[in-house]
Structures are given as structure tokens and as C-alpha cells.
Structure 1
């Protein structure tokens, strides 16, 4: 499962499997695919959501 992880102004994909536990540091956010999809829909699209969050999408850069 691909989740969206945001920390220090960077957005990237974090892949997990069923049963995984994921600890995130203070100030970070981790969104499931379902939640991310809902947020994108409410923001009018993924590009708009990312712009409103003010983060750099580095999913393709890695």
C-alpha cells in the first residue's frame, strides 16, 4: 500500500504492507491512499492540494 508522507516540506510515497507499524516524528503527516484521494477531490485535484500545502512533491525525484 502506498501512503503519502509529508515531512520538512517534502511529500513522498511511503510503501507499507498490512500489519506494518509506522512511527512518524512530530510535525510529519502520513495519509492513507483513501484519505489522500478524498483530500485531493475536496481540493479540486492533487496539484491544487499540494500547492495549498506548500510542499515539494519528490515522488518522481527519487
Structure 2
């Protein structure tokens, strides 16, 4: 069975140019093997939830 690790990133977004920073940060994480599961918009910015495979396998009996 595959195993995963998870991370949460928050991006305060106040201006259009802030989206460039979001894109840069997510591209960096993507290069490290992270995948965005979902993103939520709030009053103060965006929260993104990411996951990546850990490379360790668990058997069904564990």
C-alpha cells in the first residue's frame, strides 16, 4: 500500500501580482514531488493542501 505525507501552505493574496508568488511556490513544491489536493479561498488568502508519496510501502497487515 502506498503511503503519503501531507503539507498545508497559506498564501496571503491582496494584489494580482501576489498570484505570481503563489505560482512560483507551487511550482517549487511540484518539482519536489508535491501535488495540490485542493485549495480553499478565504477572506485573507488561499490555503492549499498538498500530498506526496513517501516512497515507503506498507503491507495490508500493518
**Bigger RCO of structures 1 and 2 (CA < 8 A, at least 6 apart):** 2
Say which structure is richer in strand: 2
- Which structure has the bigger radius of gyration? 2
After TM superposition, is the score higher than 0.5? no
